[in-house]
Amino acid sequence: MATSKKGFFLILFAVVIALVAQPVSAAEKSLKVGVYGGYFKDSFDKHIFPDFTKETGIKVESVAEPTGEAWLVQLEQAAKAGVAPADVNMIAQVPMLRGQKTNLWKPLDLNKISNHKNLLPVFIHKYPDGKVDGIGAVSWYITLVSNTKAFPAAPTSWGDMWAADKKDKLGLLALASNSFLLEITATTFFGGTKILDTQDGIQKVLDKLAALKPNVKLWYRDEAQFEQALKSGEIPMGQYYHDVATLASKDHPVRSTFPKEGGVLDSGTWAVTKACKKVEEAHVFINYMCRPDIQKKLSLKVGTSPTVKRELTGLSAEDFAAVSSDIKPIIPRYDIYTGKMSDWINQKWTDMITK
């Protein structure tokens, strides 16, 4: 009897060792993906992640990221301890550049992301030495919005915001680094954003932007506050997110206009920190998200603008117009908000623009 028990336990031990030693099957693989919280995360959980798991066998656990640069701070602290709060992260452009300075991002292998060829070039993010550190996840536009009752005729240019009849009628984003008003002003009045290369050039743009102050009723940080005022006509014009404004237009006298100078195209990037242990799975996920059919689904279900070439998406003209535009966009100069002039810009912004 004792021998039988001993033999049984030896066999059981061998089975356990064999199970532990065998490679993890695709069905058991998993991935933590960080995305912006709230409606955005809910949409990914419902429309994107389940189909990815069904196709690849890689289970996704979504992680709600805090807004702003708080997530970057968490990722950097965790990386020092060799930990990755999420294996793949959706990172805004300014935090992407800040993360580069500490080599936080693990370089990606484009040979394992064959679908990167579908992307517009601007959505392949690189270190200064050319190594790829991020791939465009989603993009969105900031456009010129207006209340149709207050302004029956749609504006055509960002320059309309400077008009005398707009006094005390504008709602604008409060920060230099999220309003991109420097870029808007430079493109509208100075022929492009190259003038922002120098401090003297930025000063000229700030002087022009300061002339807009009498027309601004609200410098907003709370998006909902401006949205409500826009709907009611209390603040009948300003800058806002095209996708949200388009949704609001279905039930309220609100329109979103792509000015002739272009809307501001902002975006989030998929990035992997140097502490990530699931690099292979991360590449599979990022490659999946670069597919035209997935970008189409994001446009239809989440309301984001596709990062792939329009002709590949199969979006109808109406669906594309709801999230994007063929007008050449204004691309933010993220570099000036992370470089040596960033503190000077922030101080000038406070003193000259929002004070």
Task: Give which of 277, 285, 260 is closest to 58, Cα–Cα.
Answer: 285
Rg (CA), the chain: 24
pLDDT at 37: 80
Among 261, 285, 318, smallest CA distance to 112 is for: 285
**3-class DSSP assignment, residue 126:** strand
Delimit the domains of the chain by residue range: 29-139+266-323, 141-265+330-354
- Residues (pLDDT < 70) of the chain are 1-27, 67-68
Q: What's residue 185's pLDDT?
A: 98
Q: Please tell me the pTM assigned to this model.
A: 0.76
Nearest-CA neighbor of 188 among 259, 257, 241, 140?
259
DSSP string covering 19-86, please?
HHHSPPPGGG-EEEEEEESTHHHHHHHHHTHHHHHHHH--EEEEEEEPSTTHHHHHHHHHHHTT--S-
In this chain, the answer to whether the domains covering 29-139+266-323 and 141-265+330-354 adopt an identical fold is yes
Q: Give pLDDT, residue 67.
A: 63
- CATH number 3.40.190.10 is the correct assignment for the domain at 141-265+330-354: yes
Whole-angstrom Cα distance, residue 259 to residue 159?
9
Place of tokens 């430079």: 186
Q: At the fourth CATH level, which superfamily is domain 29-139+266-323?
A: Periplasmic binding protein-like II (3.40.190.10)
pLDDT one-digit tens code per residue, 23-38: 444 447 999 999 988 7
What is the model's pLDDT at position 321? 86
Q: What is the pLDDT of residue 233?
A: 97
Q: Single out the residue of 335, 92, 324, 348 nearest to residue 193, CA to CA.
A: 335
